[in-house]
Amino acid sequence: MNTEPPTDTPTGTPTVRTEEHGAVFVITIDRPRVRNAVDGATARALADAFDRLDARDDLLVGVLTGAGGTFSAGMDLKAYAAGDTPIIPGRGFAGLTRTPLRSPLIAAVEGWALGGGTEMALACDMIVAAQDATFGLTEVTVGLVPPEGGIVRLPERIPRNIAVEVLLTGDPLPAERAHQLGLVNHLTPSGEALAKAVEMAHRIARNAPLSLAAVKRAVNERTAYGDQDAFRQQDQLVAPVLASHDAQEGAHAFAERRSPHWEGR
């Protein structure tokens, strides 16, 4: 197993670790003190890792996970309130959600996958989750919407009416329920999601690279109305929300640990 040096923020704090297990490339978000919330520096580090996965012919399958028993709490709202965004132009949240990767990518989810964390998992081709893990798209509770795959992808992965409930209430979706609905491929005991995801990745990596690429492309281009078209239509609807006073109020209220005061503007 080869371990590459961690990608650092300007202050030298590691935020993303990568490991090579033969043809399997494990990418770990390493900000456990903030539940692996993604700020701008972390997003750029993740984008670099995804680029390495796709650029190298000897790496066939990726696994995305989080350190410290949490997948990701999504957007770092304190950083966002200060003007730092984890959205990379043309690539989406964490450099992943709007990036059509050539390589198969598996999410290994422990603990919480909230907001952008769930959207990163939805951007992966498969999800392995610990039985006590929890997904959640909580943006409506802080005056935002989940525009990086929550609205576009969740109704494709689970029944539409359940997806709408999750999106409108902001209520959590336990991994066991997500598995029953077909969102999660495999459930594992707590602490074993990464090992199962790596095992799956090795099973995939045994197969012909051209076949893997063709299958993934065919699935992702399944209809004329693909993800990119869906994102374009969605963005016209959600742009006013993201630019609203309430969006800023939600982020500031979260950072200040108080209830938001919505004004509907």
pLDDT given for residue 213 in this prediction: 86
The answer, yes or no, to whether residue 2 has pLDDT greater than 90, is: no
Name 62's bridge partners: 25, 105
- Does residue 221 have an active-site annotation? no
User: Is 58 buried (19+), middle (13-18) or exposed (0-12) by CB count in 10 A?
Assistant: exposed
The answer, yes or no, to whether residue 139 has pLDDT greater than 70, is: yes
Name 87's bridge partners: 93
**Which of the 8 DSSP states describes residue 72?**
B
User: Is 147 buried (19+), middle (13-18) or exposed (0-12) by CB count in 10 A?
Assistant: buried
**Averaged pLDDT, 99-127:** 96
225 C-beta neighbours (distance < 10 Å), count: 9
Residue type, 132: D
**Averaged pLDDT, 181-189:** 98
The answer, yes or no, to whether residue 108 has pLDDT greater than 70, is: yes
Task: Look up residue 240 and give its two tokens.
Answer: 């006013």
The active-site residue out of 139, 148, 249, 256 is: 139
Q: For residues 65 and 71, is the Cβ–Cβ distance under 8 A?
A: yes
The answer, yes or no, to whether residue 142 has pLDDT greater than 90, is: no
Place 261 in a pLDDT band, splitting at 50, 70 and 90: confident
The active-site residue out of 4, 19, 110, 119 is: 119
CA separation for the pair 157, 57 (Å, rounded): 30
Q: What is the pTM of this model?
A: 0.83
Q: For residues 15 and 47, is the Cβ–Cβ distance under 8 A?
A: no
Phi, psi of 256 (to 5 degrees): -95, 5
Cite the beta strand spans of 34-185 per DSSP E: 61-66, 87-88, 92-93, 105-109, 112-114, 126-130, 134-136, 173-174
263 C-beta neighbours (distance < 10 Å), count: 10
> Cα(first)–Cα(last) distance of the chain, in Å?
52
Query: In whole numbers, what is the pLDDT of the chain averaged over residues?
Result: 88
Name 18's bridge partners: 4, 27
Residue type, 146: P
- Does residue 19 have an active-site annotation? no
Closest among 63, 73, 66, 72 to 23, alpha carbons compared: 63
